[in-house]
Amino acid sequence: MAPIGFLTAFGAGGGLNVNQLITTSITVSSSQNPSILGQSVTFTATITPSAATGNVQFNDTSTNPHTTLGTGTISGGHAIFTTTALSVGSHNIVAKYLGDTNNAVSISAPLIQTVNQVSTSSITSLSSNATSIIFGRSVTFTTTVTPSVATGTVQLLVNGVKFGSPVALSGGKATFTTSLQAGTYGITAAYSGGTTFNPSISNPLSITTILTITSQVSTHGAGNGDNDDTDNEDAEHEENQGSSQNQESSQNNNHTTSEKTGQEDSGHQNVNHIEHKNKNKQNHHGDD
């Protein structure tokens, strides 16, 4: 058996040819260390000699069993691998050169890659494209969850009660388009939380939308529809006519009363005239 690091072959004349493989070395570095959960990290393996060809395998030896993260092809003495899949904690990243026909296998020293949690807290905000709409029209609510890498769903709440179905976050945002009955509503949004971030609800002091919806008011009827204005005008006309008739009746009564009073006054004057005339006649006969 040939010793490790040697390549054995038989020549054309049956003799044994022994070729020694070139010893290689490999190191590994990180583009971001420490990194944040979900952040893209690129590992770069550097192989000596730079003429080496083939592939490099990147492994996480902090797990049991060890995890192969991926491989990279050597180009100009370097191989790279990029990942976003590292969990929170410390990872021992080891690069293994797999060798070629002239270069021996080599393994790097472990690189301790630290992955930190950004924050377990989340902030949810809510906005709308209108704060007052006409009954029958729709309004769109936009929910924004920070950090934008948060996953999960958002539930719209109307006066504290769930309204509609939850909407999945995309790029840290979720939108709702809906219509509401006439009235005033307190709108909030509740983030469900995800594998990384805790649930949160929009702050009522700064991001609660109070939506006032007013119904449309009809002016004049059209076609066979009701015409409230015409009905009001007719009622007012009838009322004015009734008032005029009452005034005319009152005037007639006053006129009749005046005529009667005049007649009574005239009759009274005639009686007085006759009595005065008779009295004068009596006085005249007395003189005789």
The predicted pLDDT at position 11 comes to 52
Q: Using DSSP bridges, classify how beta strands 132-134 and 89-97 pair: parallel, antiparallel or unpaired.
A: unpaired
Per-residue pLDDT of the chain in tens (288 residues, 90 and over written 9)? 444 454 555 555 555 556 789 999 999 999 999 998 889 999 999 999 999 999 999 999 999 999 999 999 999 999 999 999 999 999 999 999 999 999 999 999 999 999 987 777 889 999 988 888 778 788 899 999 988 888 899 999 988 899 999 999 999 999 999 887 778 888 899 999 887 788 999 855 333 444 556 665 544 443 444 444 444 445 444 555 554 454 554 444 444 444 444 444 444 444 444 444 445 444 444 444
Give CA torsion, residues 47, 48, 50, 54, to 10 deg: -50
Q: Where in the chain is the domain with CATH 2.60.40.10?
A: 6-116, 123-214
pLDDT of the residue at 71? 97
**CATH 3.40.50.300 correct for 123-214:** no
Evaluate whether 182 touches 135 at the Cβ level (below 8 Å). yes
Token duo for residue 89: 């904690």
Write down the CATH number for the domain with range 6-116: 2.60.40.10
Cβ–Cβ < 8 Å for 112, 84: no
- Please report the sign of the dihedral spanned by the C-alpha atoms of residue 249, residue 250, residue 252, residue 253: positive
In this structure, are residues 133 and 139 in contact, taking their beta carbons and an 8 Å threshold?
A: yes
Q: What is the pLDDT of residue 181?
A: 79
Element (H, E) at 19: strand 16-20
The structure's pTM equals 0.43
